[in-house]
């Protein structure tokens, strides 16, 4: 019997670290582990390292290559010696909302940003966090700014020293707000605009590159942002749009060309193969269901059953902006329920409205991609929330596309593992791995245009209220 060549993929996501060990040739998962992260929007990166150690415990024997996919945008500030000088400020921390408004104006408005980096920053983008931290004490000690996957990748390297040799990749660099997909290079002037001075930025490694070696003797691949890693794990093809329901809700596709959306809906990210990854991201996805289930005193399976068996939301609209929102750009917003009557104030109707509300937000995301010329032939559902039977059943009508359910798996970690296998092979392209498809829950017929129209009407009418900080 030939010995398996093993590779590891890591997903350092918002809620947890997940590790998959795979056969480098086929992608078959042979071992897996996970460990939770703190539930906060500012986190000491040491917590990610602790979670990695717990999640990978006992899994690494024989692993010959590794790569890290990480939650995008998080700001990790390091001093000259590589020590973290401020808790990492994550993508879902909205403290930089005012800084975002300032920065957009200072460069000349949304169109100027779209011209510079293909995207209009929202508070998730690292550049806005740099402005937010600029006048704090920790900023004076900062020598370098890196992202979660950059930090983890550097920490894995056996010969790391200080901030020397830190790397990132195009996929993650494209979410900073200081990297241009048009020139394929940094815009260091935008770091200076945000922070008032230069900082050391990680070198942008190429797809398939080996950037170091671990203490356990594995080569380290470049790693990437979690959505770019998922695109690699799914092997997205033209016409495929991935819709991920993790902590964030994302809709993205691979593209040979960068987008430039001055409306700010579609971010002009890069992928992990040298191409592009136009992406729309919401701040609220799977946790809308877990929070509603908790409110209703149901576990996730009973919540699903309630949402599926409900006769319909009957005009009940839930705007799911529980943690503020990024798309639409309403960082100060809260969730909102409209249409309560004695008839609709029922657990099942509320469960249905929660699933519909989060899918309406994602339907707008898919439409924004269509508006940028992205073909949508089929939608691949992934992330923890895609395990919801109610999501699977309602998605075809609300997203207006054929729904494909890749076999439930950790696609970010799988994509990172595929990147590791690519780096290990030294080949020009990643290895071909088969993505098995599952069988989604049968579709429920609903009046999708009416549900989406109700959602938009409530959103439009309450927008002024949702734009101001709650309680003010
Ligand atoms: N059957 C289910 N129905 C709804 N939500 C689910 C289900 N299974 C898992 N989840 C949710 O998925 C989320 C985790 O998804 P994941 O993609 O791992 O997120 P992240 O990558 O942001 O850490 C959790 O909020 C969890 O409650
Ligand atoms: O900010 C974005 C994309 O722009 C998010 O998608 C983060 O990358 C976090 O993802 P999850 O924790 O939901 O996987």
Over residues 144-160, the mean pLDDT reads 96
pLDDT digits (tens, 9 = 90+) for 346-370: 999 999 999 999 999 999 999 999 9
Q: Is the CB of 16 under 6 A from ligand 1?
A: yes
Residue position matching structure tokens 């509603």: 292
Q: How far is CA 213 from the centre of its chain?
A: 27
Residues tagged in the binding site annotation for substrate: 72-73
User: Does the pLDDT at position 1 exceed 70?
Assistant: no
Element (H, E) at 267: strand 267-270
Element (H, E) at 445: none
Q: Is the CB of 383 under 6 A from ligand 1?
A: yes
> Helix (H, G, I), strand (E, B), or coil: what is residue 146?
strand
- Short-list 167, 173, 169, CA closest to 155: 167
CA of 161 relative to ligand 1 center, distance in Å:
36
15 CA: nearest ligand 1 atom:
23
214 within some domain = yes
Give the Cα-Cα-Cα angle 32, 33, 37 (nearest 5 degrees).
145
The partner residues of 405 in beta bridges, in order of sequence, read 438
For the chain, the distance separating the N- and C-terminal CA atoms, rounded to the nearest angstrom, is: 69
373 within some domain = no
Over residues 130-145, the mean pLDDT reads 97
Long-range contacts of 460-469 (CB under 8 A, 24+ apart): 462/319, 462/336, 462/338, 463/328, 463/330, 466/319, 466/321, 466/325, 466/330, 466/332, 466/333, 466/334, 466/336, 467/330, 467/332, 467/333, 468/332, 469/332
Model pLDDT, residue 160: 86
> Helix (H, G, I), strand (E, B), or coil: what is residue 318?
strand
Residues of the chain above pLDDT 90, percent? 97
Residues 127, 177 contacting (CB under 8 angstroms): yes
Nearest ligand to the CA of 302 is: 1
Pocket of ligand 2 (CB under 6 A): 13-14, 71-73, 91, 124, 175, 225-227, 246-248, 250, 279, 281
Model pLDDT, residue 310: 96
Nearest ligand to the CA of 386 is: 1
352 within some domain = no
> Helix (H, G, I), strand (E, B), or coil: what is residue 430?
coil
pLDDT digits (tens, 9 = 90+) for 375-406: 999 999 999 999 999 999 999 999 999 999 99
User: Does the pLDDT at position 225 exceed 70?
Assistant: yes
C-alpha 38/C-alpha 65 separation (Å) is 28
- Mean confidence (pLDDT) of the chain: 96
pTM: 0.95
Q: How far is CA 386 from the centre of its chain?
A: 14
The protein residue with its alpha carbon nearest to ligand 2, atom 2, reads 72
Query: Which pLDDT band, with edges at 50, 70 and 90, does 185 fall under?
Result: very high
pLDDT digits (tens, 9 = 90+) for 267-301: 999 999 999 999 999 999 999 999 999 999 999 99
Model pLDDT, residue 2: 56
468 within some domain = no
CA of 245 relative to ligand 2 center, distance in Å:
10
Residues 437, 406 contacting (CB under 8 angstroms): yes
Nearest ligand to the CA of 284 is: 2
Q: Is the CB of 33 under 6 A from ligand 1?
A: no
List the structure tokens of 354: 């929660």
Which structural domain range is residue 43 located in? 6-235+410-425
ipTM over 0.85: yes
167 within some domain = yes
Model pLDDT, residue 472: 57
pLDDT digits (tens, 9 = 90+) for 60-80: 999 999 999 999 999 999 999
User: Does the pLDDT at position 58 exceed 80?
Assistant: yes
C-alpha 394/C-alpha 400 separation (Å) is 10
CA of 246 relative to ligand 1 center, distance in Å:
5
C-alpha 117/C-alpha 112 separation (Å) is 9
Q: Which residues are catalytic?
A: 226
Residues tagged in the binding site annotation: 72-73
CA of 34 relative to ligand 1 center, distance in Å:
13
47 within some domain = yes
How many other C-beta atoms are found inside a 10 Å radius of the C-beta of residue 469? 11
Helices 347-371, 286-296: crossing angle, 10 deg rounding? 170
Model pLDDT, residue 3: 65
User: Does the pLDDT at position 439 exceed 60?
Assistant: yes
C-alpha 276/C-alpha 257 separation (Å) is 6
Nearest ligand to the CA of 326 is: 2
Beta carbons within 8 Å of 237's beta carbon, 6+ residues apart:
254
CA of 73 relative to ligand 2 center, distance in Å:
8
366 within some domain = no
Go through 125-138 and write b for each residue having 16 or more CB atoms within 10 A of its CB, e for each that does not. Answer: bbbbbbbbbeeeee
Model pLDDT, residue 161: 86
Residues 243, 366 contacting (CB under 8 angstroms): yes
The protein residue with its alpha carbon nearest to ligand 1, atom 13, reads 384
Structurally, the chain folds into a number of domains equal to 1
C-alpha 412/C-alpha 11 separation (Å) is 6
379 within some domain = no
C-alpha 194/C-alpha 175 separation (Å) is 15
Pocket test for ligand 2, best of 171, 227, 243 (most atoms within 8 A of CB): 227
> What secondary structure does DSSP assign to 164-225, as a single string?
BT-EEEHHHHTTTSSEETTTTEE-HHHHHHHHSS--B--EEEPTT-EEEEBTTS-EEE--EE
User: Does the pLDDT at position 471 exceed 80?
Assistant: no
CA of 13 relative to ligand 2 center, distance in Å:
7
pLDDT digits (tens, 9 = 90+) for 235-250: 999 999 999 999 999 9
Domain CATH for 88: 3.30.420.40
Model pLDDT, residue 367: 98
11 CA: nearest ligand 2 atom:
14
290 CA: nearest ligand 1 atom:
27
Long-range contacts of 101-105 (CB under 8 A, 24+ apart): 102/131, 103/127, 103/128, 103/131, 103/193, 103/194
């Amino acid at each position: 019997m030939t010995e398996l060549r093993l590779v590891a993929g890591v997903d350092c996501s918002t809620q947890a670290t997940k590790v998959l060990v795979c056969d480098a040739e086929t992608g078959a998962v042979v071992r897996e582990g996970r460990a939770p992260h703190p539930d906060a929007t500012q986190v000491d990166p040491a917590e990610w390292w602790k979670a990695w150690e717990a999640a990978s415990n006992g899994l690494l024997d024989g692993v010959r290559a590794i790569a890290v996919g990480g939650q995008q945008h998080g700001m990790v500030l390091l001093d000259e010696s590589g020590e973290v000088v401020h808790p990492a400020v994550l993508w879902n921390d909205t403290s930089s909302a005012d800084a975002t408004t300032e920065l957009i104006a200072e460069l000349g408005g949304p169109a100027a940003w779209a011209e510079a980096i293909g995207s209009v920053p929202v508070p998730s983008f690292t550049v806005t966090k740099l402005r937010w931290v600029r006048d704090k004490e920790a900023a004076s000690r900062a020598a370098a700014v890196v992202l979660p996957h950059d930090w983890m990748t550097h920490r894995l390297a056996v010969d790391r020293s200080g901030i020397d040799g830190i790397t990132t990749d195009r996929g993650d660099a494209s979410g900073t707000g200081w990297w241009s997909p048009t020139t394929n290079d940094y815009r260091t002037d935008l770091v200076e605009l945000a922070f008032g001075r230069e900082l050391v930025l990680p070198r942008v490694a190429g797809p398939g590159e080996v950037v170091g070696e671990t203490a356990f003797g594995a080569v380290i691949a470049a790693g990437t942002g979690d959505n770019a890693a998922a695109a690699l794990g799914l092997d997205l093809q033209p016409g495929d749009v991935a819709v991920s329901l993790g902590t964030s809700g994302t809709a993205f596709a691979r593209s040979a060309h960068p987008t430039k959306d001055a409306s700010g809906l579609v971010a002009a990210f890069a992928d992990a193969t040298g191409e592009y990854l136009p992406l729309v991201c919401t701040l609220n996805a799977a946790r809308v269901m877990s929070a509603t289930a908790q409110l209703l005193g149901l576990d996730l399976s009973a919540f699903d059953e309630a949402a599926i068996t409900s006769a319909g939301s009957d005009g009940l609209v839930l705007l799911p902006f529980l943690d503020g929102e990024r798309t639409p750009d309403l960082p100060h917003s809260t969730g909102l329920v409209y249409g309560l009557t004695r008839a609709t104030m029922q657990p099942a109707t509320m469960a249905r409205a929660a699933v519909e509300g989060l899918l309406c937000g994602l339907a707008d995301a898919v439409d924004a991609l269509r508006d940028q010329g992205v073909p949508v032939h089929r939608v691949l559902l992934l992330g923890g929330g895609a395990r919801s039977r109610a999501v699977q059943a309602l998605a075809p009508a609300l997203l207006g596309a054929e729904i494909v359910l890749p076999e439930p798996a950790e696609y970010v970690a799988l994509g990172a593992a595929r990147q590791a296998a690519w780096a290990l092979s030294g080949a020009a392209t990643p290895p071909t791995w088969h993505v098995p498809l599952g069988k989604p829950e049968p579709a429920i017929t609903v009046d999708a245009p009416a549900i989406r129209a109700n959602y938009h009407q409530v959103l439009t009418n309450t927008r002024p209220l949702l734009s101001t900080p709650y309680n003010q």
